[in-house]
Chain A
Amino acid sequence: AQKVTQAQTEISVVEKEDVTLDCVYETRDTTYYLFWYKQPPSGELVFLIRRNSFDEQNEISGRYSWNFQKSTSSFNFTITASQVVDSAVYFCALSAFDSNYQLIWGAGTKLIIKP
C-alpha cells in the first residue's frame, strides 16, 4: 500500500524564521515520484516540485529547499527566511507506476507565518 504522512498538522512561526515541513512516504514501487503542492487560502493547488525516486539530489529554489532521503523515506521541505505570503496549506504527495500515477496525498500541514 502507498501512504504519505505529514505528521505536523499546523506550524506557526514568526516572519523571517526558517521552517521545515516533514513528509514521510511508504511505497513498494521502485519507480515513484514525490511532489509538494501549496494551497493558499484561495484554494487553488500550486505545484512546487517533483522528484523521481532515482534522483536523491537535494534541490534549492530561492528560499525553498527540499531534502529527499530514500533511507528514511522522507522528502522534507524547508522555507528559509519565511514571509507572510508563505502562509498556506502544504501537501506532500506520491505517485507511482503501479497506481497509474494517481497522486496519493498527505493530510497537509497548515503553515502560519506571523508578521
Chain B
Amino acid sequence: DTGVSQNPRHKITKRGQNVTFRCDPISEHNRLYWYRQTLGQGPEFLTYFQNEAQLEKSRLLSDRFSAERPKGSFSTLEIQRTEQGDSAMYLCASSYANEQFFGPGTRLTVL
C-alpha cells in the first residue's frame, strides 16, 4: 500500500500527558498538511510543510502543539500537556500538485 499512513490510529491519554503522532506521506509528495477534525465538523487546517520547511501554522496551533518534518520525509505532531479540548481526529495529507491524499487519521481521546 503506497498511500498515506498514520500511527497510531487511536490514542487515549490522560489530561496533562504528552502525545506524539506520526504521518508517513506518499514518497514522492513534497507537501504535507496536518488538519484537525472534531465530531460533526469539517477538518480545520493546522500546519503545512513543503519538504522539511514548515511554511504556515494556523492560529489554532497553540504553543502546546509542535510539528516537524525532518529531511522532508515523515512528519510528527506533538501535543504537550493535553487538554480535553484536544480530543479530535488528527488528519495528515500529502500532495505533489494540488490534490491532497489523506491518511486514515489518528483519533485522540483525552480523559
Contacts and interface: CB of A to CB of B under 8 A. Distances in A.
Q: Answer yes or no: are A and B bound together in one complex.
A: yes
Interface of A: 33, 35, 37, 43-45, 47, 50, 52, 91, 93, 95, 100-108
Nearest to A4: B42
B26 to A, nearest CB: 12
A113 B8 CA distance: 32
A43 B89 contact: yes
23 contacts: A33-B98, A37-B102, A43-B89, A43-B104, A43-B107, A44-B102, A44-B104, A45-B43, A45-B102, A47-B102, A50-B99, A91-B42, A100-B55, A100-B56, A102-B56, A103-B35, A103-B43, A103-B93, A103-B100, A104-B45, A105-B43, A105-B44, A108-B40
B33 interface: yes
Interface of B: 31, 33, 35, 40-45, 48, 50, 55-56, 89, 91, 93, 95, 98-102, 104-105, 107
A50 B98 contact: yes
Given A43-B107, A103-B33, A103-B100, 8 more contacts: A44-B105, A47-B101, A50-B98, A91-B42, A95-B98, A102-B48, A103-B35, A104-B45
Contacts of A93: 42
A107 B107 CA distance: 19
Contacts of B43: 45, 91, 103, 105
Contacts of B41: 107-108
Given A43-B89, A45-B91, A100-B48, A105 B42 contact: yes
